[in-house]
Amino acid sequence: MARKALAVVLGAVAIVGAILWAGGRARQPFIPVLAVLLLVTAASLFGKTSRYADLLRPLVGKKVRVFAWGAQLPGVAGASFILDRVLAIGPGLHIYLRQVPHGSAVHMKIAQPRGAELDDLEFEIYGAKYVQWAGRKIPQKRGQPALFLDFITGASNEED
């Protein structure tokens, strides 16, 4: 409940700031930019995407295999990753994966995720507008989950 209250407060502050700026009462040029940032933050806190990020955050540092639309990630087939970071920004779930053993974090975006389930060994997002890996959209396959993370048991942030 505190998250929703914070989202409402941030959204209200953004709207009041934008109204004051548009009415000429606040003349600083950064106010519209700040208003947009506050609205995006409020949307991030209020939306279901942040709940999906909350589900994944305790699993940061765990070793996973990743599938998007039922296939391994392009260019890294068969690779395992360390779940490095998870963020919800607006309607997008942003996951950073570091390839084992010596990779740098690579960005994966799940746009407008729909439906998620987490159990001890797996995390699945049923649908999304699109999935992007390292800046490129992955072709969607009907009937396949947008994202499937298979947690490798007994593995943490220790690299092979």
pLDDT per residue as tens digits for the range 11-51: 788 888 888 888 787 778 888 888 888 887 777 666 778 88
Average pLDDT over residues 51-78: 90
Regarding whether 78 and 12 lie in a shared domain, the answer is no
Look up residue 60 and give its amino acid: V
User: Where does 23-98 have alpha helices with state H?
Assistant: 31-46, 48-56
Q: Where are the beta strands (DSSP E) in 2-157?
A: 63-68, 71-72, 81-89, 92-99, 105-111, 114-118, 122-127, 130-133, 136-137, 147-151
CA distance 90 to 83: 21
At 108-144, the pLDDT tens digits run: 999 999 999 888 789 999 999 999 999 999 999 989 9
pLDDT at 158 over 70: no
pLDDT, position 149: 93
pLDDT of residue 3: 65
Number of domains the chain contains: 2
Residues 35 and 58 in one domain: no
Would residue 160 count as lying in a domain? no
**Residue 54 CB neighbours (<10 A):** 12
- Tell me whether residue 156 is in a domain: no
Residue 125: which domain range? 52-151
